Structure 1
């Protein structure tokens, strides 16, 4: 019996191209199991306070992502969050929240998608604990349970998760975020998302044809964020 295929999604919650790929991941979740692996793009020395320099750096990339994928970026993000010099971009807290939601209710990827919208459309500070708690509750997660799970996975557990995700990324030869890997019968194959960005239905149709997936050339160069920030 052939094992059920699994899609591994190596992401970062502050990666614009991951947000661009969100409709593809949503399609994939309707077809086969998807496992999320947070890569820790903006952690440690890569954490960044919002500044004019950061805004000037990320805005052209975000405009390109919007044009390339059709994903919406809100005025509250461009003219609100990206001008809020008290905000910090830190991948660790939102990744911890995704881990907590997965542990608590198997809803990690759902929370990730909600956090991406909160960041890029609503301009909310998804590195702030109180914002993460509020969004979890908005999603219907129990406040006390989520808070306990979030505290439990923060710190060392999240750092270990980042390390394991980076090891997987290296093992499959991925170059950045997002990297999507099909695991089937013990074999791992990186999937080139480039042709499907902005075309989620086509990606879903293609994923359903797993024989074709196995033979697909994955040597393309879909746009992505690097290990330490979006390029």
Structure 2
């Protein structure tokens, strides 16, 4: 069995920049199974956003914007008493994966767009529910925002999200985005960090060829 595993965080700026590259890759290999594992970039963070952290983050965002051409809004970092905790957003993607696995990446990308392009506070359950349910409903999943919030707040969602973080740590993944190719239970690195689609295609083809011969 072969598949691609994407280890990422919806509130990671380089993951946001990587989105179009990944989508183009996946569109070209529709037969390849795909799984998303949430990494927990700043999971459980309790630190209030201060000007020093905001300045640092905006510097990173500027580099991602220049590289990817994607839109960024500074408003996301200006919410009152904002705490950059990425666990709630990761959990929303986990809930989508639980309810309808085929929507998980779309929910992931929708949360990214909400945070980075629209400046929404994606640490808040009601915001995450609205974003996620819009994607799920479009995919034909009949679910209300309250239904989503009930699952998002559940112990199983909280535990499953933490399990993703622990799996990421067991794999030794410390940076996002990370994309790996799995064949027969073995993992092979495609990229650790941002890469263009043509690079991903070349690396993936090399891995397919190498592992097919082994």
TM bracket (short chain): 0.7 to 0.9
Out of 127, 134, 146, the residue aligned to residue 148 of structure 2 is 146
Alignment of 1:48-67 (within 5 A): 48-67=47-66
| CA contact 2:8–2:38 (8 Å) conserved in 1 | yes
2:160 corresponding residue in structure 1:
157
1:187 aligns with 2:186: yes
1:25 corresponding residue in structure 2:
22
| CA contact 1:52–1:83 (8 Å) conserved in 2 | no
1:112 corresponding residue in structure 2:
108
Partner secondary structure for residue 88 of structure 1: coil
Partner secondary structure for residue 63 of structure 1: helix
Out of 85, 92, 105, the residue aligned to residue 87 of structure 2 is 92
**Which runs of 5 or more residues in structure 1 are unaligned?**
217-231
- TM-score normalized by structure 2? 0.82
1:213 aligns with 2:210: no
| CA contact 1:12–1:18 (8 Å) conserved in 2 | yes
2:36 corresponding residue in structure 1:
36
- Once the two structures are superposed, residues 59-79 of structure 1 have per-residue CA deviations (whole angstroms, 9 ceiling, x without a partner) of 111111111222221xxx21x
1:82 corresponding residue in structure 2:
77
The RMSD of aligned alpha carbons is 2.3
TM-aligned CA distance change 1:86 to 1:195, over 3 Å: closer
| CA contact 1:196–1:203 (8 Å) conserved in 2 | yes
- TM-score normalized by structure 1? 0.76
| CA contact 2:47–2:83 (8 Å) conserved in 1 | yes
| CA contact 1:103–1:149 (8 Å) conserved in 2 | no
**Which runs of 5 or more residues in structure 2 are unaligned?**
none
| Alignment partners' CA distance in 1, 2:176 and 2:194 | 16
| CA contact 1:93–1:154 (8 Å) conserved in 2 | no
TM-aligned CA distance change 1:154 to 1:187, over 3 Å: closer
TM-aligned CA distance change 1:50 to 1:154, over 3 Å: farther
